[in-house]
């Protein structure tokens, strides 16, 4: 499908691996010019890369200026950069307040820093899209990692604020929420859980994940990074020109709102 994204300039945070990398590849297949911002260079793909710490606002501003110098505009932005606490948070007081700070700084202030840098550009262009990678955890209050869940709820809410602010300028903003995907972050949740279990209750990652899928995913299957990338790239195209302020789940039916 030609989504008419050829020569569009795309910025992707967290694009060096996982879902972000899948998004970068799919935009490239559509002929877009992809700029990846991450803390490490991707191991594959021919992308423009900039080492960017999204918690450093000036670093984000400098990276934005470089993209504008290279390309003259930014048509699409995808925010895939995020971390979890790497601890098992059920009950929540398994964690200490200090376990929250880095997660909130990366997942909320990182989003804020980039929005402040990019929104004025898209407003002046009178066009653009922003897509934020959130999570089903941000909608259901997942107890496995409360800091991560809370930060993803904030991502969804702030994306809606941005959508309302930027709609008069024809800039669309949406959130996409994955379900169960084999990523390093998902594995870190299992590892934190498994480390707390007595020997007789320990499970391999696949045993743990497959049980969750069987019990919670109506379609009974993993979602893949490519599944999420498909939705993000379509949302970025004119095929979704009337879609903004939405939270779209790509989760095998995990979260259903009645």
Confidence at 144, pLDDT banded by 50, 70, 90? confident
Q: Which residues contact 67 (CB under 8 A, 6 or more apart)?
A: 9, 11, 35, 48, 50, 74
CA distance 255 to 258: 10
Orientation of helix 225-236 relative to helix 18-29, angle to 10° = 50
Residue with tokens 């670093």: 59
SS (H, E, C) 150-211: HHHHHHHHHHHHHHHHHHHHCEEEEEEEECCECCHHHHHHHHHHHHCCCHHHCCCHHHHHHH
Is residue 174 exposed (0-12), middle (13-18) or buried (19+ Cβ within 10 Å)?
Answer: buried
Confidence at 1, pLDDT banded by 50, 70, 90? low
Predicted pLDDT at 46: 84
pTM for the full predicted model:
0.91
Orientation of helix 57-71 relative to helix 110-125, angle to 10° = 30
Orientation of helix 110-125 relative to helix 146-166, angle to 10° = 20
Is residue 43 exposed (0-12), middle (13-18) or buried (19+ Cβ within 10 Å)?
Answer: exposed
Q: What is the pLDDT of residues 104-130, one digit of tens each?
A: 999 999 999 999 999 999 999 999 999
Range ranked top by mean pLDDT from 74-88, 167-181, 183-197: 167-181
Max distance between CA atoms of the chain, in angstroms, equals: 60
Q: How many helices (H) and strands (E) does the chain have?
A: 9, 7
DSSP class of residue 15? T
Q: What is the pLDDT of residues 192-246, one digit of tens each?
A: 878 889 999 999 989 988 998 998 899 999 999 999 999 999 999 999 999 999 9
CA distance 182 to 187: 7
| Domains of the chain as residue ranges with CATH | 9-179+223-250 (3.40.50.720)
């Amino acid at each position: 499908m030609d989504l008419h994204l050829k020569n569009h300039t795309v910025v992707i945070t967290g694009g060096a691996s996982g879902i972000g990398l899948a998004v970068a590849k799919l935009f490239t297949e559509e002929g877009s010019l992809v700029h990846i911002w991450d803390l490490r260079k991707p191991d594959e793909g021919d992308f423009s890369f900039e080492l960017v710490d999204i918690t450093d606002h000036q670093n984000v501003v400098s990276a934005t200026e470089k993209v504008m110098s290279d390309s003259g505009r930014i048509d699409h932005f995808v925010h895939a950069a995020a971390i979890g606490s790497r601890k098992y948070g059920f009950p929540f007081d398994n964690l200490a307040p200090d376990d929250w700070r880095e997660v909130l700084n990366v997942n909320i202030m990182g989003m804020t820093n980039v929005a402040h840098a990019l929104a004025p550009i898209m407003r002046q262009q009178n066009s653009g899209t922003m897509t934020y990678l959130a999570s089903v955890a941000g909608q259901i209050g997942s107890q496995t990692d409360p800091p991560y869940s809370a930060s993803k709820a904030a991502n969804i809410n702030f994306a809606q604020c941005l959508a309302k602010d930027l709609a008069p300028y024809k800039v669309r903003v949406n959130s996409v929420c994955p379900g169960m995907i084999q990523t390093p972050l998902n594995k870190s949740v299992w590892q934190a859980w498994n480390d707390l279990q007595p020997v007789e209750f320990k499970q391999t990652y696949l045993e743990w994940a497959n049980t969750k899928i069987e019990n919670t995913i109506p379609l009974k299957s993993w979602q893949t990074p490519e599944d999420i990338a498909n939705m993000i790239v379509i949302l970025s195209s004119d095929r979704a020109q009337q879609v903004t302020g939405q939270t779209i789940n790509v989760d095998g039916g995990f979260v259903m709102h009645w």
